[in-house]
Amino acid sequence: MSTQELPKHVGIIMDGNGRWAKKRGLPRSAGHAAGAAVFKNIVRYCSKIGIQHLTVYAFSTENWKRPQNEVLTLMKLFKQYLSDALTNFLDENIRVRFLGDETAFDPRLRELIDETVEVSKNRTGMVLNIALNYGGRSEILNAVRLLARDVQNGVLLPEQIGEEAFSQKLDTAGQPDPDLIIRPSGEKRTSNFLLWQSAYAEYVFMDILWPDFKPKDLDRALELYAARNRRFGGI
């Protein structure tokens, strides 16, 4: 596939770790560990083939409802990944950004998030957005609050609030909206992911659990995307 046919921005809802582990009689933590390994592989592959922006849904605002042991396992995996990224991925020309509310995380994880962003900020390759403690509704509400504050402070008039002004208050400010969103696992819903930004995104739902997801599966989703006629409301 030529780079002209590639979507500029791909979103992935990484789903199915728990079911993958259950099918094998393993603890859910084993599924998350397997999913983390797939995440690293797919990130590198996307960078290699020329994807400009990749957003992965790693932990939603609703995931705090999961059992405490599972949440702790996920937090440990996030710290491990970021530590690896700081030491082993120095040659990867990938700029890392984070979407979501970091304030709920412990100081060590927030420190790793800040350090990862700082270390990678001058890289010129693919932008990797990791959505942690992220929810599309929360993001929209936060953007509304920021705009309301600007109006209150006299920085902005209500009639000046348009789509562009709103988009600049989102976590993805300065980036193109996703062209393609992929959801493995067989589920067919958006799960509060990039609600504003995905207004005209193409969706590909795949009946494969995330730990089994391979570069060839991404290639298949990209082929399906390339075959679609994107009209954006026109004819």
Q: Is 63 an active-site residue?
A: yes
pLDDT > 70: what percent of the chain? Answer: 95
**H/E element, 122:** none
pTM: 0.93
pLDDT tens profile 21-32: 999 999 999 999
Q: Is the pLDDT of residue 142 over 70?
A: yes
pLDDT tens profile 166-195: 999 999 999 999 999 999 999 999 999 999
pLDDT tens profile 95-108: 999 999 999 999 99
Q: Is the pLDDT of residue 84 over 90?
A: no
Residues ≥6 apart with Cβ < 8 Å to 166 = 143, 147, 196
Say which of 41, 63, 142, 192 is annotated catalytic.
63
- pLDDT level of residue 224 (50, 70, 90 thresholds): very high
What is the fold of 9-135+178-225?
Undecaprenyl pyrophosphate synthetase (3.40.1180)
Q: Is 114 an active-site residue?
A: no
Q: Length of the chain in residues, anyone? A: 235
